Amino acid sequence: MTQGSLKLGIVGAGFIAHFHARAIQSVRAMVIDGVYAPRGPERLSAYVRKLGVGDAKVYNSVRELCEHVDAVAIYCPNFASLATMEEIAAARQAGARVSAVICEKPLGRNVKEALRFVQLAEEAHLLTAYFENQIHMKPIQVQREQLRPQQEAMGPLTLARCAEEHAGPHKPWFWDPTVQGGGVLCDMGCHSIAVGWYVLNPLGKPPQFLEPISVSCDVALLKWGQKFWREKLLQEQGVDYSKTPAEDYATGVITFRNPETKQIAKLQFTDSWMYDKQGLRLYMEGLGPGYGFEVNTLQSPLNLFIGDSAATAIGDQESALEKSTASRGLLSVQVNEPDLYGYVDENRDAATRFLQWDHGLLPFSYGLAINKLVMACYMSAERKSVIDLTNPTIQRELESFVPLIQQGRGAEML
């Protein structure tokens, strides 16, 4: 691996690839050296060069890309990510230059796929980084340092509440649970579960220190279950939710146990595609004995007002806020979303650690653990019961569990 700057190759040329390119503007030790995608690689390549973050040469295959870069980032749709990982591992074993791999969440659409990711990386001796941006958010990291004296004196947090909400995904494939992996729980629940688990962990302990012992979850089809919204969905997204519905709302509780002190900690999470307000809302709250913190990404130092007569001048409403639902009125603006949401710091972490021949803060084994918790949530919603994660039988069942919603049979439970 080249010392100095990590030469990154990207597979995929959609929204998330462009978002990461913006983040890498703030990362000295990483350049985007190559791109491969079945559709749109030239557009991404031109964007990368415009930002000044690499040459972004367009390659004709994953294998060819792996020959020229130090690390490959899997930013393709969920249904294509495992096949991409198989190509990267095969290229590595055949002697390609690539020595590290990044995978944007989720790590597979079910536990079986996530296990395969881990296995492929181990067999090919690849360094890994599972990208969960919310753990890297500066507000999350700063609150830990600010509250360090309180944690040390009074003990760690024991309750976390985390939410991610917006009005719905960008692309049609997100609305098809058989290719995306589910609905909002698969798409965004992984974020809320990961960041909640992280903040509950005592300072100085690894991200998987607290032991998950039980899960209770409920999912529902609310906004998109209404006739008006279903017709709109059919018209705009081309997916028939009357045949393969997926949840647009999920909420649950995960119970953790400290293996050293036996202290119980609780995570409450809520995720929805029903937030028809300003745009993307991330909310995190942690409560400990005598102290706490709160993060709300819709609180911004910058607000704009755009009247009706001036609204036609707005070319891209998402330039103000990801998933923005309006182009006029009083608008919240985040001036640097990639940094606010943690994308800058997760890329910096991957570059720094890979160049030191180490895994990222969150390796693929962590992505597997998050995947398992998401699947346990789906299992709880299907069975309408609390799932005991300390039960060996449940652990075996999770390894082959595919939610009804992911199978396209969501109508049986929603």
By C-alpha distance, which of 280, 288, 290, 255 is closest to 269? Answer: 255
As a whole number, the mean pLDDT across the chain is 92
pLDDT digits (tens, 9 = 90+) for 8-57: 999 999 999 999 999 999 999 999 999 999 999 999 999 999 999 999 99
Cβ(255)–Cβ(213) below 8 Å:
yes
The pLDDT value given to residue 214 = 98
Residues 6+ apart with CB under 8 A from 67: 91, 96, 97, 98
Judge whether residue 233 has pLDDT over 90: no
Q: If you count them, how many residues does the chain have?
A: 414
Average pLDDT of the residues in 248-254: 97
pLDDT digits (tens, 9 = 90+) for 401-412: 999 999 999 999
What percentage of the chain carries pLDDT values higher than 90? 80
Q: What is the largest CA-CA distance in the chain?
A: 63
Q: Please give the average per-residue pLDDT across 268-280, as a whole number.
A: 91
User: 404 and 380 in contact (C-beta within 8 Å)?
Assistant: no
Half-sphere exposure of 137 (CA within 13 A, CB side): 25
pLDDT band (50, 70, 90) for residue 226: confident
pLDDT score, position 156: 96
- 135-300+371-409 under CATH 3.30.360.10, yes or no: yes
What pLDDT band is residue 306 in, cutting at 50, 70 and 90? low
Judge residue 287's burial from the number of C-beta atoms within 10 Å of its C-beta, 0-12 exposed, 13-18 middle, 19 or more buried: middle
Residue 150 identity (one-letter amino acid): Q
Q: Provide the residue type at 187 as one letter.
A: D
pLDDT band for position 225 (50/70/90)? confident
Least-confidence region, from 111-115, 279-283, 296-300: 296-300
Q: What is the pLDDT of residues 324-380, one digit of tens each?
A: 666 667 677 788 888 999 999 999 999 999 999 999 999 999 999 999 999 999 999
Domains 6-133+343-362 and 135-300+371-409 share a fold: no
Q: What percent of the chain has pLDDT over 70?
A: 90
Fold type of domain 6-133+343-362: Rossmann fold (3.40.50)
**What pLDDT shows up at residue 21?**
98
Q: Which residues contact 314 (CB under 8 A, 6 or more apart)?
A: 306, 327, 328
**Dist CA 255 CA 38 (whole Å):** 42
Average pLDDT over residues 202-209: 96
Residue 35 has what DSSP assignment? E
The answer to whether the CB of 215 falls within 8 A of the CB of 377 is: yes
Banded model confidence at residue 313, pLDDT cuts 50, 70, 90: low
Compute the distance between CA of residue 161 and CA of residue 285 in angstroms, rounded to an integer: 5
b or e along 264-276 (b: 16 or more beta carbons within 10 Å of the residue's beta carbon)? Answer: ebbbbbbbbbbbe
pLDDT band (50, 70, 90) for residue 243: confident
CA dihedral for 38, 44, 46, 52, sign (positive or negative)? negative
Residue 173: per-residue pLDDT: 87
Q: What was the pLDDT predicted at 128?
A: 98
pLDDT of 260 higher than 70: yes
More confident call, 357 vs 4: 357
Q: Which pLDDT does position 325 carry in this prediction?
A: 62
Confidence of residue 228 (pLDDT cuts 50, 70, 90): low
- pLDDT band at residue 315 using 50, 70 and 90 as cut-offs: low
pLDDT-derived band at 4 (thresholds 50, 70, 90) equals: confident
Q: What pLDDT, in 10s, does the model give residues 138-181?
A: 999 999 999 999 999 999 999 999 999 998 887 888 889 999 99
What was the pLDDT predicted at 169? Answer: 86
Residue 381, pLDDT score: 98
pTM of the model: 0.92
Q: What is the dihedral of CA 358, 2, 62, 32, to 10 degrees?
A: 100
Report domain extents, the chain: 6-133+343-362, 135-300+371-409
